[in-house]
Amino acid sequence: MHENPIFSESALLLGATRILEAAGVPSLKAQLVAESLVSASLRGVDSHGVQLIPYYVAQLRAGNIVPAEDGAVLSESSACLIYDGRRGLGQAIADVCCGHAVRLAREHGLGLVVSRDSNHFGAAAFWGQRIAAHGMIGLILCNASPSVAPWQGREGRIGTNPICMVLPSSGRGA
């Protein structure tokens, strides 16, 4: 018997989805969040995987995440768009923003989308892979809460501020 149980991908997806739905997340959004978290876990990026579910549930219960919120476009000008997440689920807001970025890039050769007032969106690579799947080059940036202490510091003052860069693949392997 394993000390740490091993679950199939489908069992993880179903379990994560059901937990999120029980916390008040609409079904399609719960499935998207579960997909992003399970994807990270399967890639070995456990810090952004299913272990985040208790954190998300706590944020939902505290009212920091508005589970049904879709956000809205604040402004759009040529290849640039500003999106207000209105405290929605980070993955749901990121999904909408990726769609806008791909649309704008097809129309203008570049799609620059900035979102605000959103929440944790999981691993940036998940969104990069979605953009690359459309044949696009992607650059995903995110700010983060101050959790890292500066050199010789004792308290978190600096965010990790992740950056992800992707190029589309021909699918022929390396």
Tell me the two tokens of residue 97.
């923003």
Contact predicate 131/106, CB 8 Å: no
Known catalytic membership, residue 48:
yes
Cβ proximity of 60 and 23 under 8 Å? yes
Residues 122, 36: Cα–Cα separation, whole Å? 6
CA pair distance 154, 38, nearest whole angstrom? 33
Burial class for 52, CB neighbours closer than 10 Å (0-12, 13-18, 19+): buried
Per DSSP bridges, beta strands 163-166 and 72-77 are unpaired
Catalytic-role residue among 48, 108, 120, 134:
48
SS3 (DSSP) at 153: coil
Four-CA torsion 21, 26, 30, 33, nearest 10 degrees:
-140
Catalytic residues: 48
